[in-house]
Structure 1
Amino acid sequence: MTITVTNQKPAVLDPVHTITCTGTYDPMPAITSAIADPLRTPLNPGAPANITDAKGLDLSSGIEQALLACLGDTLVPGAEDFMKELLGQTMVNYDQTTPLPVGELFAAQAGRKHKLPAPVPGKVVYTAREDVIPSAKGLLSGSNDADLFFASLAYAYHPDTLGFWFQSEAAFDDFKAWLAQQVQTSGSALPAGTLKLLGDFAALELKSLTESLLLRQDDTDNNEELSFARLVVHLLMQYVEQLNAQQAGPGGTPATSGVLPFTVGELFCPKSLVFVNVEAHARARPGKVTAEWGIINQSLSSPVKVVSNKNLSKLTAMHRATARAQAQAATQQAGAPATRSAQVVFRKQAPTKLDLFAALTRVLKRMGKVNRSQNIFRKSKTTFLKANRRDPDDYNKPGRITSVSYMPDIHIYVDTSGSITEANYQEAVLMLIKIAKKLNVNLYFNSFSHVLSQETLLKVENKSVTQIWQEFRKVPKVDGGTDYKQIWDYINASAVRKRRLSLVITDFEWRVPSTREDHPKNLYYAPCGAMDWDSMVRSAKHFAKAMKHIDPAVPQRLLGMIV
């Protein structure tokens, strides 16, 4: 889509906003004032800013709805592309080619401001040692602004939460003292439950790297008038706004607190809060910082969240207990510099068995050998170091040595959801059988829909096609919808499965989540057989495009589909 922008003042978005604590909870006015209105501000006040499409239709009135379309549970590539093009033309610091989803636009703005390359898994990786800790030290010394610290945190960990940074434990105590004054002024108007939670909040300490709270189970929870979830965010924003005003005034002092708007959805309706101690980050070991944010992300992704209306609910309580019990430590590898991705060109016709065999072989070679697996590779060679079996007394005749090595196991996940017919399933299985016969290797196998069947080891080696087919028919077929994330979680839950070459046979009919997920390193995808190829390619393109924020290299994982 071509967007034309004229007479618009390039915007720098400010995440600080104040949503009223009384009346019906409605974040839309705050979204309009913080994001949409700055994008519509005219350069010359005498005339309005014009944002039009190729046909001259006005787009400025639909900015809010276009943004909301990018904030759902699943990523919508068309809405993302439109909004990124709009932001790229209307913001001072925004690169519309960024792999970050629109929901992380404040992180993209902060990174662009400091000329940081966008994070790309495996290529551009941000770490505690190289980025977070140095930016924290710079913020404390006054040599860096808070945007660099925010960008380093967002690029390294991508937490789906609303954060507030405090210069130190003392700065957090200053906020609590200010908060107590506000509560004392309006205490009589506050519900008893809110006063109780505010009292508990006053007892919180920020001695360590972070402290975090649960506010809501979903967007509709705890939105009553003067509820703790509404009031605490309102007062935090009001406090930051006052500090920023003091800093901007004559002889102003640097702010000791600020907003960390990791995602737009959480900025305006947060389900959790994370308070960040900058001084503690500056002094911490890299491993401790990485482990801390790992626990936060684990807690955010946990399906079990219990929010109490009577007591403060800490976000990381359960996972911290687990971490202490298991003594887990997380580390992160630094990656190589970013490179320009090659243009992705899809095949014009479905791949043959030989195409898929060649693609699988290439992947196996790249993965290298392992100590032990079902994928046994035997190689024989002649040598004079061993006697000839037929004539052991003749030293002029060489013998033969057979060496045994092991390639990674192969694990197949076949899509058996409602969109896959019996003919599609049989075609996929027969293709697998022929490839397995050619490789002469046993296979691990699951069928999947929105649930995953039990894992089975199929004995393929030295069996006929008919015998192998009978083995496949014994594996239960699950049906229902489609869900790839359960496969990701299943692989990531086992170090053994992580080392396998995993292959999903599918029609790519799945909506990618808008959240960041851990995509397995050795997981690849292949098209299901006996289906319309043009439709398959359209679905695969949509899938690859929507996966950019999770794994930009997904097009290279589509075996047999890319030229």
Structure 2
Amino acid sequence: MTFTVTNQKPVVLDAVHTITCTGDYDPMAAIGRTIVEPLLTPLNPASPAAIADATGRALGPADITDLLLACAGDTIDAAAEQSMKELLGQTLVNFDQTTPLPVGELFAAQAGRRHKLPAPVPGKVVYTAREDVIPAAKALLSGTSDAGQFFASLAFAYHPDTLGFWFETGTVFDDFKTWLAQQAQMIGPALPAATTKLLGDFAGLSLQGLTESLLLRQDDSDNNEELSFARLIVHMLMQFLQQQRARSQAAGTQIIAGVLPFTVGELFCPKSLVFVNAEAHARARPNKVTAEWGIINQSLASPVKVLSHRNLSKLTAMHRATARAQAQAVAQARNAGRPTSRSAQVVFRKQPPTKVDLFSALTRVLKRMGKVNRSQNIFRKSRTTFLKANRRDPDDFNKAGRITSVSYMPDLHVYVDTSGSITEANYQEAVLMLIKIAKKLNVNLYFNSFSHVLSQETLLRVENKSITQIWQEFRKVPKVDGGTDYLQIWNYINASAVRRRRLSLVITDFEWRVPGTREDHPKNLYYAPCSAMDWNSMVRSAKHFAKAMKHIDPAIAQRLLGMIV
């Protein structure tokens, strides 16, 4: 259809509108004021604007409204779409009538055209969080662009069928809640009890994350009663935006909140609301932004939406819960056949570990931790090569030379239990076992003794020393006594990034009562049994320790070196 438009001033449509929350609910009047009437703004006020179709028939407000509503149905009316796009292309300042976007997204098309953003085309023109949404949010915060670019980037990237409102920060959203509470207090007894209850729940919402969303209606005829929460909240949001605009214009400051009219239908009779934190979008990771809007779209597409008339219904609650459940199911499927609580299903050795067992366990852990830039644990590897001359006979090219490479493994830090339950014989046996292991590893190590207090840290020089010399060094280290407390070791390790990178080993009898609080167990901390003690008693204490540690580290039994099969 071809339209002839005369004496019409091209306009920019403003999505901010006000539908009264009292009396009958009439969104059609708001559609007329927001879209239809502006399209008939005269260029010369002395005479009205005129729009005629191909037959010369004049189109009035009712005709334009009917054409617009034909484009807002559940299915696409191709003829109505083409006609309305042609009309909008002639009457709007920023609208491309060849846009692939449906008329229902006319506000997004208008914003995109204004900011010279090409319309999204699957496989050809794609908008992403990294390249479009996050930069637009940063531009909005910095004042180098208005909200139109941020809105268009969100609409073009995700196309959510909802009504959105953006707030510069979570604090601005809190300001709106405060203002809303004041307005509700002024209305007072006129508010229905259900609305008052929902307003109270709304006051508890927070917008510190990327979005918050609410479900308002099951369909267009739901929750349209006078002063219902669905009508009141949208009415107050629009009033708040109008006041903010007036203040920013008077003070010459930046606008801090606005509307996101993703679709025409949701703008005037929204079934859901999405509140958007612009600052959070500007500082978020792209995959987090994409995942957030993915959940919103999944929730909007769900055929089942649970709406309560007594409590606030969050739009994405069901899908977030489903996502968590699916993640747990995937984890369970991956771990099929594996024990779900390794600390509760491990098998302990029937005999105490030998020095070889502990050496193998420590070596395995060190290899898992990988190499570091520098440490006391120096690892030298020598190999033959013809690229280097033989040192004994450098002129004989048939004899290979030798290259020695140096790498570093994580430092070893040992904490030996010297509490009252550990006898002198137990201590000496534990230290001698440790010396032999350190001697075999040929590394210097850090050492503390502990009870309910921790001795001063000492670096023991083990490399290239005899066992007797090393033992003399150990005897110089002060040995504390008293009760047993592992928590001080955890705090001591966690307090230093250097100590967190070490392989820490506690040699103990496991006689410790685990606290009921959730503590931070160091990642690289392991435990080994003290020597020369009754093995059955040791296993009983270790089992009790593993079970009691479930709330802190369910897999703690895997850290008991030399004790499990």
Superposed, 1:237-316 pairs within 5 Å as 237-249=238-250, 251-316=251-316
- 1:93 is the counterpart of 2:94: yes
Per-residue CA deviations over 1:148-189 (Å, capped at 9, x if unaligned) read 000000000000000000011101001001101101111211
Instruction: Find the counterpart in structure 1 of residue 213 from structure 2.
Output: 212
- What fraction of aligned residue pairs are identical, expressed as a percent? 76
In terms of mean alpha carbon deviation, does 59-68 or 124-133 score higher?
59-68
Note if contact 1:187-1:195 (Cα within 8 Å) is conserved in structure 2: no
What are the superposed Cα offsets for residues 31-78 of structure 1, whole Å, 9 maximum, x if unpaired? 000000000010000001010012211013311111011001011001
Contact 1:128 1:289 (C-alpha < 8 Å) held by counterparts: yes
Secondary structure at the aligned position of 2:262 is classed as coil
1:246 aligned counterpart, secondary structure? helix
After superposition, the Cα gap between the structure-2 partners of 1:300 and 1:314, relative to the gap in structure 1 and judged at 3 Å, is same
Distance 2:56 2:143 in 1: 47
Amino acid corresponding to residue 255 of structure 1 in structure 2: I
Provide the C-alpha distance between the structure 2 equivalents of 1:316 and 1:89, rounded to a whole number of angstroms: 39
3-state SS of paired residue (2:266): helix
SS, match of residue 28 in structure 1: helix
> SS state of the match for residue 196, structure 1?
helix
Q: What are the superposed Cα offsets for residues 504-523 of structure 1, whole Å, 9 maximum, x if unpaired? A: xxxxxxxxxxxxxxxxxxxx
CA–CA separation in structure 2 for the residues paired with 1:30 and 1:53: 25
Give the drift of 1:212: 0.1
Task: Report the secondary structure of 1:163's partner residue.
Answer: strand
How far off its partner does 1:253 sit?
Answer: 1.9
How far, CA to CA, are the matches of 1:227 and 1:236 in structure 2? Answer: 14
Cα RMSD over matched residues? 1.0
Q: Which has the higher contact order (CA 8 A, sep 6+)?
A: 1
Aligned to 1:183: 184
- Structure 1 counterpart SS, 2:74: coil
Aligned equivalents of 2:60 and 2:104: distance in 1?
Answer: 19
What residue identity is the alignment partner of 2:33? S
Say which SS state the counterpart of residue 42 (structure 2) adopts. Answer: coil
Q: Is the 8 A contact 1:52 1:60 kept in 2?
A: no
Q: Where does residue 123 of structure 2 map in the other structure?
A: 122
Name the CA distance, whole Å, in 2 between partners of 1:98 and 1:327: 39
Which aligned pairs between 1:319-338 and structure 2 lie closer than 5 A?
A: 319-327=319-327
Does 2:50 match 1:53? no
Structure 1 equivalent of residue 132 of structure 2: 131
User: 1:306: Cα distance to partner?
Assistant: 1.6
How far has the Cα of 1:214 moved from its partner? Answer: 0.2
Shift of 1:321: 1.4
TM-score normalised by length of structure 1: 0.58
AA aligned to 1:22 is T
What runs of 5+ residues in structure 2 fail to find an aligned partner?
Answer: 329-565
Deviation at 1:325, TM superposition (A): 3.1
Map 1:91-490; keep pairs closer than 5 Å: 91-249=92-250, 251-327=251-327
Task: For residue 327 of structure 1, report the CA deviation from its aligned partner.
Answer: 4.0
Structure 2 distance, partners of 1:305, 1:289, is 23
Is 1:17 equivalent to 2:13 in the alignment?
no
Aligned residues: 327
* Structure 1 residue matching 2:118: 3-state secondary structure: coil
Which amino acid in structure 1 is aligned with residue 291 of structure 2?
Answer: A
* Partner-residue secondary structure (3-state), 1:266: helix
Q: 1:3 corresponds to which residue?
A: 3
Contact 1:161 1:271 in 2 (8 A): yes
Equivalent position of 2:446 in the other structure:
none
CA-to-aligned-CA distance 1:368-398 (integer Å, 9 cap, x gap): xxxxxxxxxxxxxxxxxxxxxxxxxxxxxxx
Letter in 2 for 1:300: L
Could you list the runs of 5+ residues in structure 1 that have no partner in the other structure?
329-563
CA–CA separation in structure 1 for the residues paired with 2:205 and 2:171: 12
- CA distance, structure 1, for counterparts of residue 327 and residue 60 of structure 2: 52
